[in-house]
Structure 1
Amino acid sequence: MKPARILTALALGTTLGLGATATATATAGTSSSPAPRAAENTGSADASDRARAAKARKGPVMATYKGKKFDMADGWGDAKVCSEYPDLTVKCFTTDAEAQADMAAYAKKDPRALPKAPKGRSAKIQPAAPASAASTAGGDEAAPLAASCAFGWTCLGEHQNLGGRKLQWSADGTKTLATWGFRDEATSTCNNDEIGGMGIVDYRTNWPDPELITILGTCVTSLHEESYPAELGSGTWNDRADEVWM
Protein backbone atom coordinates (compact mmCIF):
# COMPACT_ATOMS: atom_id res chain seq x y z
CA MET A 1 0.00 0.00 0.00
CA LYS A 2 1.00 3.65 -0.36
CA PRO A 3 0.06 5.47 2.90
CA ALA A 4 1.34 8.86 1.68
CA ARG A 5 -0.84 8.68 -1.40
CA ILE A 6 -3.81 7.53 0.64
CA LEU A 7 -3.41 10.53 2.94
CA THR A 8 -3.21 12.79 -0.10
CA ALA A 9 -6.51 11.38 -1.34
CA LEU A 10 -8.20 11.87 2.01
CA ALA A 11 -6.89 15.42 2.25
CA LEU A 12 -8.33 16.30 -1.14
CA GLY A 13 -11.71 14.63 -0.82
CA THR A 14 -14.09 13.26 1.77
CA THR A 15 -14.30 9.48 2.12
CA LEU A 16 -17.61 8.24 0.74
CA GLY A 17 -19.79 5.22 1.45
CA LEU A 18 -19.46 1.81 -0.19
CA GLY A 19 -20.10 1.70 -3.91
CA ALA A 20 -19.96 5.48 -4.24
CA THR A 21 -17.68 7.36 -6.60
CA ALA A 22 -14.65 8.96 -4.93
CA THR A 23 -11.43 10.20 -6.46
CA ALA A 24 -8.64 12.68 -5.94
CA THR A 25 -5.99 13.93 -8.33
CA ALA A 26 -2.39 14.43 -7.17
CA THR A 27 0.12 16.41 -9.19
CA ALA A 28 3.18 18.56 -8.53
CA GLY A 29 5.53 20.81 -10.45
CA THR A 30 5.44 24.04 -12.42
CA SER A 31 3.30 25.08 -15.36
CA SER A 32 5.90 24.47 -18.07
CA SER A 33 4.85 22.34 -21.03
CA PRO A 34 5.48 18.59 -20.72
CA ALA A 35 7.80 16.82 -23.13
CA PRO A 36 6.33 14.80 -26.02
CA ARG A 37 4.70 11.52 -25.00
CA ALA A 38 7.04 9.42 -27.17
CA ALA A 39 9.81 9.43 -24.54
CA GLU A 40 8.41 8.82 -21.08
CA ASN A 41 9.91 9.13 -17.61
CA THR A 42 13.41 9.54 -19.03
CA GLY A 43 14.13 13.11 -17.94
CA SER A 44 16.04 14.46 -14.96
CA ALA A 45 12.79 15.28 -13.16
CA ASP A 46 11.46 11.74 -13.41
CA ALA A 47 13.63 9.93 -10.84
CA SER A 48 10.74 9.35 -8.43
CA ASP A 49 8.53 8.10 -11.26
CA ARG A 50 11.21 5.64 -12.39
CA ALA A 51 11.67 4.44 -8.81
CA ARG A 52 7.94 3.74 -8.56
CA ALA A 53 7.86 1.93 -11.90
CA ALA A 54 10.86 -0.20 -10.85
CA LYS A 55 8.59 -1.96 -8.36
CA ALA A 56 6.37 -3.29 -11.14
CA ARG A 57 6.28 -6.91 -12.20
CA LYS A 58 9.14 -7.57 -14.61
CA GLY A 59 8.97 -9.41 -17.91
CA PRO A 60 5.91 -10.38 -19.93
CA VAL A 61 2.63 -11.20 -18.21
CA MET A 62 1.68 -14.69 -19.33
CA ALA A 63 -1.97 -15.62 -18.90
CA THR A 64 -4.00 -18.78 -19.50
CA TYR A 65 -7.19 -18.72 -21.57
CA LYS A 66 -9.07 -21.92 -22.44
CA GLY A 67 -6.01 -23.97 -21.55
CA LYS A 68 -3.56 -22.00 -23.71
CA LYS A 69 -0.92 -19.53 -22.54
CA PHE A 70 -0.44 -16.15 -24.19
CA ASP A 71 1.44 -12.89 -23.64
CA MET A 72 -1.14 -10.30 -22.60
CA ALA A 73 0.81 -7.48 -24.26
CA ASP A 74 0.07 -9.12 -27.62
CA GLY A 75 -3.69 -8.80 -27.15
CA TRP A 76 -6.39 -10.74 -25.36
CA GLY A 77 -8.05 -12.46 -28.31
CA ASP A 78 -11.57 -13.49 -27.28
CA ALA A 79 -10.89 -13.15 -23.55
CA LYS A 80 -12.97 -10.50 -21.76
CA VAL A 81 -11.95 -10.81 -18.09
CA CYS A 82 -8.45 -11.45 -16.72
CA SER A 83 -7.59 -12.05 -13.06
CA GLU A 84 -4.26 -12.05 -11.22
CA TYR A 85 -4.42 -14.32 -8.18
CA PRO A 86 -2.42 -14.01 -4.93
CA ASP A 87 0.35 -16.28 -6.27
CA LEU A 88 0.62 -14.05 -9.41
CA THR A 89 -1.06 -16.67 -11.62
CA VAL A 90 -3.11 -14.94 -14.34
CA LYS A 91 -6.23 -16.53 -15.82
CA CYS A 92 -8.59 -15.12 -18.44
CA PHE A 93 -12.22 -15.89 -19.20
CA THR A 94 -14.95 -15.15 -21.72
CA THR A 95 -17.46 -13.85 -19.16
CA ASP A 96 -17.41 -12.23 -15.73
CA ALA A 97 -19.51 -15.11 -14.39
CA GLU A 98 -16.79 -17.58 -15.41
CA ALA A 99 -14.16 -15.44 -13.72
CA GLN A 100 -16.18 -15.23 -10.50
CA ALA A 101 -16.75 -19.00 -10.47
CA ASP A 102 -13.04 -19.69 -10.93
CA MET A 103 -12.24 -17.18 -8.18
CA ALA A 104 -14.51 -19.09 -5.79
CA ALA A 105 -12.93 -22.43 -6.75
CA TYR A 106 -9.43 -21.00 -6.33
CA ALA A 107 -10.33 -19.62 -2.89
CA LYS A 108 -11.05 -23.14 -1.65
CA LYS A 109 -7.32 -23.85 -2.03
CA ASP A 110 -6.08 -20.36 -1.18
CA PRO A 111 -8.49 -18.26 0.93
CA ARG A 112 -6.48 -15.12 0.11
CA ALA A 113 -8.29 -15.06 -3.23
CA LEU A 114 -11.62 -14.28 -1.55
CA PRO A 115 -11.11 -12.94 1.97
CA LYS A 116 -14.21 -12.43 4.09
CA ALA A 117 -15.47 -8.88 4.01
CA PRO A 118 -15.54 -7.33 7.49
CA LYS A 119 -18.50 -5.44 8.94
CA GLY A 120 -19.08 -2.26 6.99
CA ARG A 121 -17.53 -3.56 3.76
CA SER A 122 -19.21 -5.26 0.81
CA ALA A 123 -18.31 -8.66 -0.64
CA LYS A 124 -18.85 -7.08 -4.07
CA ILE A 125 -19.08 -3.48 -5.22
CA GLN A 126 -20.41 -2.09 -8.50
CA PRO A 127 -20.18 1.35 -10.12
CA ALA A 128 -23.33 3.46 -9.89
CA ALA A 129 -25.06 4.80 -12.99
CA PRO A 130 -23.24 7.82 -14.51
CA ALA A 131 -24.55 11.28 -13.67
CA SER A 132 -24.69 12.50 -17.27
CA ALA A 133 -24.55 11.40 -20.87
CA ALA A 134 -20.99 12.77 -21.05
CA SER A 135 -19.80 9.40 -19.77
CA THR A 136 -20.39 7.97 -23.24
CA ALA A 137 -18.58 10.77 -25.07
CA GLY A 138 -15.89 9.90 -27.55
CA GLY A 139 -17.56 6.71 -28.70
CA ASP A 140 -17.14 4.79 -25.45
CA GLU A 141 -19.82 2.16 -24.99
CA ALA A 142 -22.33 2.21 -22.18
CA ALA A 143 -22.42 -1.01 -20.16
CA PRO A 144 -25.09 -2.64 -18.00
CA LEU A 145 -24.48 -2.84 -14.26
CA ALA A 146 -23.45 -6.49 -14.43
CA ALA A 147 -19.74 -6.65 -13.60
CA SER A 148 -18.62 -6.25 -10.00
CA CYS A 149 -15.37 -6.12 -8.04
CA ALA A 150 -14.96 -8.72 -5.28
CA PHE A 151 -13.68 -7.89 -1.81
CA GLY A 152 -9.89 -8.10 -1.71
CA TRP A 153 -9.61 -7.09 -5.38
CA THR A 154 -8.99 -3.96 -7.45
CA CYS A 155 -10.55 -3.70 -10.90
CA LEU A 156 -10.34 -1.73 -14.16
CA GLY A 157 -12.99 -1.66 -16.87
CA GLU A 158 -12.52 -0.89 -20.56
CA HIS A 159 -15.85 0.95 -20.59
CA GLN A 160 -17.98 2.62 -17.93
CA ASN A 161 -19.48 0.47 -15.15
CA LEU A 162 -16.63 -2.07 -15.54
CA GLY A 163 -18.02 -2.87 -18.98
CA GLY A 164 -16.09 -4.23 -21.94
CA ARG A 165 -12.86 -5.98 -21.01
CA LYS A 166 -12.19 -6.19 -17.28
CA LEU A 167 -8.81 -6.52 -15.56
CA GLN A 168 -8.63 -7.36 -11.86
CA TRP A 169 -5.92 -8.05 -9.30
CA SER A 170 -5.78 -9.79 -5.94
CA ALA A 171 -2.02 -9.23 -5.62
CA ASP A 172 -1.09 -5.69 -4.61
CA GLY A 173 1.74 -3.79 -6.28
CA THR A 174 2.49 -1.62 -9.29
CA LYS A 175 1.10 -2.84 -12.62
CA THR A 176 2.50 -1.45 -15.89
CA LEU A 177 -0.59 -1.64 -18.08
CA ALA A 178 1.24 -2.01 -21.40
CA THR A 179 2.40 -5.47 -20.29
CA TRP A 180 -1.22 -6.34 -19.48
CA GLY A 181 -2.54 -5.23 -22.88
CA PHE A 182 -4.55 -2.46 -21.21
CA ARG A 183 -2.58 0.75 -21.65
CA ASP A 184 -4.69 3.87 -22.31
CA GLU A 185 -7.87 1.78 -22.23
CA ALA A 186 -9.37 2.19 -18.74
CA THR A 187 -12.71 3.98 -18.41
CA SER A 188 -13.83 2.79 -14.95
CA THR A 189 -12.21 1.64 -11.71
CA CYS A 190 -13.20 -0.09 -8.47
CA ASN A 191 -11.14 -0.37 -5.30
CA ASN A 192 -12.49 -3.18 -3.10
CA ASP A 193 -9.07 -4.01 -1.66
CA GLU A 194 -8.77 -5.05 1.98
CA ILE A 195 -6.92 -1.86 2.89
CA GLY A 196 -5.41 1.18 1.19
CA GLY A 197 -5.84 3.27 -1.91
CA MET A 198 -5.70 2.54 -5.62
CA GLY A 199 -4.31 4.95 -8.19
CA ILE A 200 -4.06 5.14 -11.95
CA VAL A 201 -1.03 6.97 -13.37
CA ASP A 202 -0.43 8.77 -16.66
CA TYR A 203 3.25 8.82 -17.67
CA ARG A 204 4.64 12.29 -18.46
CA THR A 205 8.33 12.97 -19.16
CA ASN A 206 10.07 15.73 -17.19
CA TRP A 207 6.88 16.23 -15.22
CA PRO A 208 5.70 14.37 -12.11
CA ASP A 209 3.23 11.77 -13.34
CA PRO A 210 -0.35 12.76 -12.44
CA GLU A 211 -2.40 10.22 -10.51
CA LEU A 212 -6.11 9.70 -10.00
CA ILE A 213 -6.88 7.93 -6.72
CA THR A 214 -9.88 5.67 -6.13
CA ILE A 215 -10.61 5.67 -2.40
CA LEU A 216 -11.06 2.36 -0.58
CA GLY A 217 -14.49 0.77 -0.99
CA THR A 218 -15.52 2.95 -3.94
CA CYS A 219 -15.76 2.89 -7.73
CA VAL A 220 -15.26 5.46 -10.46
CA THR A 221 -18.22 4.88 -12.74
CA SER A 222 -16.73 6.66 -15.75
CA LEU A 223 -13.37 8.35 -16.21
CA HIS A 224 -15.10 10.57 -18.77
CA GLU A 225 -16.43 12.38 -15.68
CA GLU A 226 -12.98 12.96 -14.12
CA SER A 227 -11.18 16.09 -15.36
CA TYR A 228 -7.50 15.78 -16.27
CA PRO A 229 -5.16 18.26 -14.46
CA ALA A 230 -5.50 21.59 -16.28
CA GLU A 231 -1.80 22.40 -15.98
CA LEU A 232 -1.00 19.27 -18.02
CA GLY A 233 -3.59 19.62 -20.76
CA SER A 234 -7.31 19.33 -21.22
CA GLY A 235 -9.96 16.67 -21.39
CA THR A 236 -10.62 13.84 -18.95
CA TRP A 237 -8.90 10.80 -17.45
CA ASN A 238 -10.59 8.45 -19.91
CA ASP A 239 -8.10 6.18 -21.75
CA ARG A 240 -5.08 7.79 -20.06
CA ALA A 241 -3.97 5.16 -17.51
CA ASP A 242 -0.46 3.80 -18.17
CA GLU A 243 -0.05 2.22 -14.74
CA VAL A 244 -2.07 1.27 -11.70
CA TRP A 245 -0.90 0.80 -8.10
CA MET A 246 -2.67 -0.61 -5.08
Structure 2
Amino acid sequence: MASWNSTHLEVLYNVLGWLAFVSWSISFYPQVILNFRRKSVVGLNFDFVLLNLTKHSSYLIYNASLFFSSTVQRQYREKFGLNEMIPVAANDVAFSIHAVLLTVFTLAQIVMYDRGNQKVSKTAAVLVSVAWLAAAVCVFVAIPRHSWFWLVSCFNTIQVVMTVIKYIPQVVLNFRRKSTIGFSIGNILLDFFGGITNYFQMVVQSIDQKSWINFYGNIGKTMISLVSILFDILFMVQHYILYPSSKRTSDNPISLGEESSQVTKEESRSADV
Protein backbone atom coordinates (compact mmCIF):
# COMPACT_ATOMS: atom_id res chain seq x y z
CA MET A 1 0.00 0.00 0.00
CA ALA A 2 1.37 3.41 -0.97
CA SER A 3 1.63 6.10 1.69
CA TRP A 4 2.48 9.77 1.72
CA ASN A 5 6.14 10.69 2.06
CA SER A 6 5.46 14.28 3.09
CA THR A 7 2.81 15.34 5.58
CA HIS A 8 2.87 18.87 4.16
CA LEU A 9 2.18 17.64 0.65
CA GLU A 10 -0.60 15.39 1.93
CA VAL A 11 -2.26 18.38 3.60
CA LEU A 12 -1.83 20.47 0.43
CA TYR A 13 -3.29 17.61 -1.64
CA ASN A 14 -6.41 17.51 0.53
CA VAL A 15 -6.77 21.30 0.59
CA LEU A 16 -6.54 21.52 -3.22
CA GLY A 17 -8.98 18.63 -3.60
CA TRP A 18 -11.64 20.19 -1.42
CA LEU A 19 -11.10 23.61 -3.00
CA ALA A 20 -11.82 21.94 -6.35
CA PHE A 21 -14.89 20.27 -4.86
CA VAL A 22 -16.26 23.55 -3.46
CA SER A 23 -15.53 25.52 -6.62
CA TRP A 24 -16.93 22.92 -9.02
CA SER A 25 -19.96 22.29 -6.83
CA ILE A 26 -20.81 25.97 -6.45
CA SER A 27 -20.33 26.42 -10.21
CA PHE A 28 -23.70 24.73 -10.82
CA TYR A 29 -25.66 27.28 -8.81
CA PRO A 30 -25.26 30.51 -10.85
CA GLN A 31 -27.05 28.84 -13.79
CA VAL A 32 -29.73 27.36 -11.54
CA ILE A 33 -30.30 30.77 -9.90
CA LEU A 34 -30.32 32.55 -13.27
CA ASN A 35 -32.94 30.12 -14.59
CA PHE A 36 -35.04 30.65 -11.47
CA ARG A 37 -34.89 34.44 -11.64
CA ARG A 38 -35.75 34.57 -15.34
CA LYS A 39 -38.26 31.71 -15.14
CA SER A 40 -36.72 30.84 -18.48
CA VAL A 41 -33.99 28.55 -19.84
CA VAL A 42 -33.74 30.30 -23.21
CA GLY A 43 -30.03 30.72 -23.95
CA LEU A 44 -29.02 27.58 -22.05
CA ASN A 45 -28.20 24.84 -24.53
CA PHE A 46 -30.16 21.67 -23.70
CA ASP A 47 -27.60 19.44 -25.42
CA PHE A 48 -24.99 20.75 -22.98
CA VAL A 49 -27.12 19.71 -19.99
CA LEU A 50 -28.01 16.27 -21.38
CA LEU A 51 -24.41 15.48 -22.31
CA ASN A 52 -23.33 16.79 -18.92
CA LEU A 53 -25.63 14.33 -17.15
CA THR A 54 -24.16 11.40 -19.09
CA LYS A 55 -20.66 12.66 -18.36
CA HIS A 56 -21.18 13.08 -14.60
CA SER A 57 -23.11 9.81 -14.22
CA SER A 58 -20.26 7.91 -15.88
CA TYR A 59 -17.68 9.74 -13.76
CA LEU A 60 -19.62 8.92 -10.59
CA ILE A 61 -19.60 5.21 -11.45
CA TYR A 62 -15.84 5.33 -12.01
CA ASN A 63 -14.98 7.40 -8.90
CA ALA A 64 -17.24 5.50 -6.51
CA SER A 65 -16.08 2.10 -7.77
CA LEU A 66 -12.37 2.89 -7.54
CA PHE A 67 -12.72 4.62 -4.18
CA PHE A 68 -14.90 2.05 -2.38
CA SER A 69 -14.23 -1.31 -4.06
CA SER A 70 -11.20 -3.23 -2.82
CA THR A 71 -11.46 -5.52 -5.85
CA VAL A 72 -11.25 -2.62 -8.30
CA GLN A 73 -8.38 -1.15 -6.30
CA ARG A 74 -6.51 -4.46 -6.41
CA GLN A 75 -6.92 -4.71 -10.18
CA TYR A 76 -5.74 -1.09 -10.53
CA ARG A 77 -2.53 -1.90 -8.63
CA GLU A 78 -2.02 -5.08 -10.62
CA LYS A 79 -2.01 -2.95 -13.75
CA PHE A 80 -0.05 0.10 -12.61
CA GLY A 81 2.05 -1.18 -9.70
CA LEU A 82 1.41 -2.64 -6.25
CA ASN A 83 2.83 0.42 -4.52
CA GLU A 84 0.80 2.95 -6.49
CA MET A 85 -1.59 5.24 -4.67
CA ILE A 86 -5.24 5.15 -5.76
CA PRO A 87 -5.80 8.31 -7.83
CA VAL A 88 -9.36 8.98 -6.61
CA ALA A 89 -9.93 11.03 -3.47
CA ALA A 90 -13.01 11.53 -1.31
CA ASN A 91 -13.58 14.95 -2.85
CA ASP A 92 -13.83 13.33 -6.31
CA VAL A 93 -16.67 11.07 -5.15
CA ALA A 94 -18.43 13.92 -3.33
CA PHE A 95 -18.21 16.14 -6.40
CA SER A 96 -19.59 13.45 -8.72
CA ILE A 97 -22.62 12.84 -6.49
CA HIS A 98 -23.33 16.55 -6.20
CA ALA A 99 -22.85 17.10 -9.95
CA VAL A 100 -25.36 14.40 -10.90
CA LEU A 101 -27.97 15.80 -8.50
CA LEU A 102 -27.57 19.40 -9.69
CA THR A 103 -27.64 18.41 -13.35
CA VAL A 104 -30.88 16.49 -12.79
CA PHE A 105 -32.26 19.59 -11.06
CA THR A 106 -31.28 21.75 -14.05
CA LEU A 107 -33.08 19.30 -16.35
CA ALA A 108 -36.15 19.71 -14.13
CA GLN A 109 -35.91 23.48 -14.64
CA ILE A 110 -35.82 22.91 -18.40
CA VAL A 111 -39.09 21.01 -18.07
CA MET A 112 -40.73 23.65 -15.82
CA TYR A 113 -39.59 26.97 -17.27
CA ASP A 114 -40.04 28.76 -20.59
CA ARG A 115 -38.04 26.94 -23.25
CA GLY A 116 -39.18 28.89 -26.29
CA ASN A 117 -38.68 26.60 -29.26
CA GLN A 118 -35.41 25.16 -27.95
CA LYS A 119 -35.13 21.40 -27.72
CA VAL A 120 -32.56 18.63 -27.50
CA SER A 121 -31.01 17.99 -30.90
CA LYS A 122 -31.15 14.60 -32.57
CA THR A 123 -27.34 14.57 -32.60
CA ALA A 124 -27.14 14.85 -28.81
CA ALA A 125 -29.83 12.20 -28.34
CA VAL A 126 -27.91 9.81 -30.60
CA LEU A 127 -24.60 10.51 -28.82
CA VAL A 128 -26.12 9.79 -25.41
CA SER A 129 -27.81 6.62 -26.68
CA VAL A 130 -24.55 5.38 -28.21
CA ALA A 131 -22.66 6.13 -24.97
CA TRP A 132 -25.02 4.09 -22.82
CA LEU A 133 -25.21 1.29 -25.40
CA ALA A 134 -21.41 1.11 -25.32
CA ALA A 135 -21.54 1.01 -21.52
CA ALA A 136 -23.99 -1.90 -21.65
CA VAL A 137 -21.71 -3.80 -24.04
CA CYS A 138 -18.78 -3.25 -21.67
CA VAL A 139 -20.81 -4.65 -18.78
CA PHE A 140 -21.62 -7.85 -20.68
CA VAL A 141 -17.98 -8.26 -21.70
CA ALA A 142 -16.62 -7.62 -18.20
CA ILE A 143 -18.94 -9.86 -16.17
CA PRO A 144 -17.65 -13.30 -17.33
CA ARG A 145 -14.04 -12.11 -17.12
CA HIS A 146 -14.43 -10.30 -13.78
CA SER A 147 -12.57 -7.37 -15.35
CA TRP A 148 -13.96 -4.78 -12.99
CA PHE A 149 -11.25 -2.16 -13.30
CA TRP A 150 -11.46 -2.45 -17.08
CA LEU A 151 -15.23 -1.96 -16.81
CA VAL A 152 -15.04 1.20 -14.70
CA SER A 153 -12.31 2.44 -17.03
CA CYS A 154 -14.86 2.17 -19.84
CA PHE A 155 -17.11 4.54 -17.91
CA ASN A 156 -14.11 6.80 -17.39
CA THR A 157 -13.54 6.81 -21.15
CA ILE A 158 -17.18 7.72 -21.74
CA GLN A 159 -16.91 10.66 -19.38
CA VAL A 160 -13.75 11.85 -21.13
CA VAL A 161 -15.54 11.80 -24.50
CA MET A 162 -18.57 13.57 -23.01
CA THR A 163 -16.28 16.17 -21.41
CA VAL A 164 -14.80 16.99 -24.80
CA ILE A 165 -18.16 17.08 -26.58
CA LYS A 166 -20.47 18.69 -24.02
CA TYR A 167 -19.13 22.24 -24.28
CA ILE A 168 -19.35 22.45 -28.07
CA PRO A 169 -23.15 23.04 -28.38
CA GLN A 170 -22.99 25.99 -25.96
CA VAL A 171 -19.98 27.48 -27.76
CA VAL A 172 -21.84 27.22 -31.06
CA LEU A 173 -25.05 28.68 -29.59
CA ASN A 174 -23.13 31.68 -28.20
CA PHE A 175 -21.48 32.15 -31.59
CA ARG A 176 -24.76 32.02 -33.51
CA ARG A 177 -26.49 34.44 -31.15
CA LYS A 178 -23.40 36.67 -30.80
CA SER A 179 -24.39 36.77 -27.13
CA THR A 180 -23.88 34.90 -23.85
CA ILE A 181 -27.10 36.18 -22.25
CA GLY A 182 -28.87 33.28 -20.56
CA PHE A 183 -25.62 31.39 -19.96
CA SER A 184 -24.03 32.16 -16.60
CA ILE A 185 -20.39 33.32 -16.66
CA GLY A 186 -20.25 32.68 -12.90
CA ASN A 187 -20.51 28.98 -13.71
CA ILE A 188 -17.49 29.29 -16.02
CA LEU A 189 -15.28 31.24 -13.61
CA LEU A 190 -15.87 28.71 -10.83
CA ASP A 191 -15.40 25.80 -13.23
CA PHE A 192 -12.07 27.31 -14.34
CA PHE A 193 -10.82 27.62 -10.75
CA GLY A 194 -11.96 24.05 -10.03
CA GLY A 195 -10.06 22.76 -13.05
CA ILE A 196 -6.87 24.53 -11.96
CA THR A 197 -7.01 23.23 -8.38
CA ASN A 198 -7.96 19.71 -9.50
CA TYR A 199 -4.97 19.57 -11.86
CA PHE A 200 -2.51 20.81 -9.25
CA GLN A 201 -3.87 18.28 -6.76
CA MET A 202 -2.64 15.59 -9.15
CA VAL A 203 0.70 17.38 -9.49
CA VAL A 204 1.16 17.37 -5.71
CA GLN A 205 0.50 13.61 -5.54
CA SER A 206 3.01 12.98 -8.35
CA ILE A 207 5.69 15.07 -6.64
CA ASP A 208 5.23 13.23 -3.36
CA GLN A 209 5.21 9.78 -4.96
CA LYS A 210 7.95 10.65 -7.48
CA SER A 211 5.72 9.12 -10.13
CA TRP A 212 3.44 10.51 -12.84
CA ILE A 213 1.40 7.33 -13.17
CA ASN A 214 -1.65 8.90 -11.58
CA PHE A 215 -1.98 11.21 -14.63
CA TYR A 216 -2.53 8.34 -17.05
CA GLY A 217 -3.77 5.89 -14.41
CA ASN A 218 -6.75 8.22 -14.04
CA ILE A 219 -6.82 9.82 -17.47
CA GLY A 220 -10.39 10.94 -16.82
CA LYS A 221 -9.38 13.24 -13.97
CA THR A 222 -6.53 14.61 -16.08
CA MET A 223 -8.79 15.32 -19.05
CA ILE A 224 -11.63 16.81 -17.03
CA SER A 225 -9.17 19.40 -15.71
CA LEU A 226 -7.44 20.25 -18.99
CA VAL A 227 -10.54 20.25 -21.21
CA SER A 228 -12.52 22.31 -18.69
CA ILE A 229 -9.74 24.89 -18.48
CA LEU A 230 -9.45 25.23 -22.27
CA PHE A 231 -13.19 25.59 -22.88
CA ASP A 232 -13.63 27.92 -19.90
CA ILE A 233 -11.01 30.23 -21.42
CA LEU A 234 -12.97 30.15 -24.69
CA PHE A 235 -16.23 31.00 -22.87
CA MET A 236 -14.52 33.89 -21.07
CA VAL A 237 -13.26 35.22 -24.39
CA GLN A 238 -16.78 35.01 -25.79
CA HIS A 239 -18.35 36.70 -22.76
CA TYR A 240 -15.85 39.47 -22.04
CA ILE A 241 -14.25 40.16 -25.44
CA LEU A 242 -16.33 38.92 -28.37
CA TYR A 243 -19.90 39.39 -27.13
CA PRO A 244 -19.91 41.67 -24.06
CA SER A 245 -23.47 42.49 -23.00
CA SER A 246 -22.67 46.19 -22.55
CA LYS A 247 -21.53 46.40 -26.17
CA ARG A 248 -24.68 44.64 -27.40
CA THR A 249 -26.84 47.03 -25.39
CA SER A 250 -25.13 50.12 -26.78
CA ASP A 251 -24.99 48.85 -30.36
CA ASN A 252 -28.44 47.33 -30.53
CA PRO A 253 -30.48 47.87 -27.36
CA ILE A 254 -33.12 45.17 -26.96
CA SER A 255 -34.73 43.72 -23.89
CA LEU A 256 -33.99 40.25 -22.64
CA GLY A 257 -37.50 39.25 -23.59
CA GLU A 258 -37.00 40.46 -27.15
CA GLU A 259 -33.65 38.65 -27.43
CA SER A 260 -35.24 35.50 -26.05
CA SER A 261 -37.88 35.72 -28.77
CA GLN A 262 -35.17 36.03 -31.40
CA VAL A 263 -33.24 33.12 -29.91
CA THR A 264 -36.25 30.83 -29.90
CA LYS A 265 -36.87 31.54 -33.57
CA GLU A 266 -33.24 30.78 -34.37
CA GLU A 267 -33.29 27.62 -32.27
CA SER A 268 -36.35 26.35 -34.07
CA ARG A 269 -34.31 26.45 -37.28
CA SER A 270 -31.09 24.98 -35.90
CA ALA A 271 -32.10 22.61 -33.11
CA ASP A 272 -31.41 19.51 -35.18
CA VAL A 273 -28.11 20.67 -36.67
Quick check: TM above 0.5? no
Q: Select the structure that is richer in strand.
A: 1
Name which one, 1 or 2, has greater alpha-carbon Rg: 2
- TM-score interval for Structure 1 and Structure 2 normalised by the shorter chain: under 0.3
Normalising by structure 1, we get a TM-score of: 0.22
Normalising by structure 2, we get a TM-score of: 0.21
Structure number with greater CO (CA < 8 Å, separation at least 6) is: 2
Q: Select the structure that is richer in helix.
A: 2
